[in-house]
Amino acid sequence: MPLTLTLAQLDRTISETQSKLAKLEKLRALLTDPEIGYTEPSSNGNSRRSSTKKAPNANGLRSAILDLNFLTPFTVSEVVKTLQNKNFDFDGRDPEHAVRDALYVMAKNRIGVKRTKQGTGGQPSVYEKVAT
């Protein structure tokens, strides 16, 4: 039995999936932000601290990002490479996740950076520094 799917239908499905993924990534970034203080319900219904590992000293990471001298727009990967070259301690957390979450919160709260291009279709979001 052949599967009948047009390219337009496939493109629409991909677009809808990417949109949902972007929303879920935003939600995750908010929930893992230490300033939010999200508590995750346990199996017995009582709240407990989120088991999601938080960014180590998020303010330290944010300060380190703000101290970088990017004169042109940049991506999460470029920030990670630069911080790793400076031996920044991510305290065991995945550097890509830590930087992505920090940049998301910083851009949302207008803390020294803004997102100039939303990443879609496997392309990274692009950020640039702004006056604080």
CA distances from 52 to 19, 30, 93, 131 (A): 23, 12, 10, 32
For the chain, which residues make up each domain, given as ranges?
8-129
Neighbours of 2 (CB within 10 A): 4
Q: Beta-carbon neighbour count of residue 102 at 10 Å?
A: 24
Tell me: pLDDT of 3 over 80. Answer: no
Q: 89: which residues sit within 8 A by CB, 6+ positions away?
A: 56
Q: Which residues contact 132 (CB under 8 A, 6 or more apart)?
A: 66, 111, 112
The per-residue pLDDT for range 5-39, each reduced to its tens digit, is: 888 888 888 888 888 888 888 887 777 776 666 66
> Residue 58's pLDDT band (boundaries 50, 70, 90)?
low
Q: What is the pTM of this model?
A: 0.56
Give tens-digit pLDDT for 117-129.
Answer: 998 888 999 999 9
